[in-house]
A = this chain, B = another copy of it.
Amino acid sequence: MDREAKSNHITWHAGEIAHRDRQRLRGHKGVTVWLTGLPSSGKSTIARELEKRLFDTGVCAYVLDGDNVRHRLNRDLGFSPEDRTENIRRIGEVAALFTDAGIVCITAFISPYRKDRAAAREAVGEDAFVEVYCSCSLAECEKRDPKGLYKKARAGEIPEFTGISAPYEEPLSPAIRLETDRLSLDKEVDLIVSHLTKSGFLQKES
């Protein structure tokens, strides 16, 4: 068989599967739900509950968080401003791949810098990027402190800790702002699902 002809043939019928086709298979669009906020503001808890809720309704959802990214793909990176930027750059690119694959990708990272979040938005694509600000007072985050990290940071044992010794830049116009120090987890997830539905990400294609 003539390989050249085969290649031409492949080029012709377009190797890439169209987004519309992926959407038809899954019944929903690819989208990145980007959670941002201080340590202990509730990001991972919300991400896992949202993933579960979507999964229960047949939606392909997947969480990227510290557990599966920081210790693996990005294990070569620390917490300097440069490494944080590279951390978020790579996560943005991975989220872009998941979104392109038609998955609801939920990311749960502090992502403290506006410019890094803007870069992630650009990587994923403006139309498929939903920024969710987990707004919680520093006092409340310190009170929760499930892993005792704030305590260690106050004692100077963890350098460059966001909220204590490293900055957090609040989103200026997030798609969703969750006051996580007063809302219940169910309500938080309701608000995100409602937004995704209204925005057409979860609707079946007719």
A binding-site residues for B, Cβ under 8 Å: 1, 3-4, 6-7, 10, 15-17, 21-22, 25-26, 42, 44-45, 48-49, 51-52, 55, 58, 60, 62-64, 68-69, 72-73, 90, 93-94, 96-98, 100-103, 123, 144, 146, 181, 184-185
Contacts and interface: CB of A to CB of B under 8 A. Distances in A.
Nearest to A96: B72
Given A52-B15, A98-B101, A101-B62, A72 B123 contact: yes
Oligomer: number of copies: 2
Nearest to A180: B3
Contacts of A93: 72-73
Contact of A48 (B16, B21, B55, B146): B16
A3 B58 CA distance: 28
A31 to B, nearest CB: 14
A190 to B, nearest CB: 14
Contact of A26 (B42, B45, B60, B101): B60
A205 to B, nearest CB: 15
Given A15-B52, A68-B100, A100-B68, A10 B60 contact: no
Nearest to A14: B48
B101 A21 contact: no
Given A7-B45, A51-B17, A68-B100, A60 B60 contact: yes
Nearest to A55: B17
Given A60-B26, A101-B60, A144-B3, A73 B90 contact: yes
B4 A49 contact: no
Nearest to A4: B144
5 contacts: A6-B184, A17-B55, A69-B97, A72-B123, A98-B98
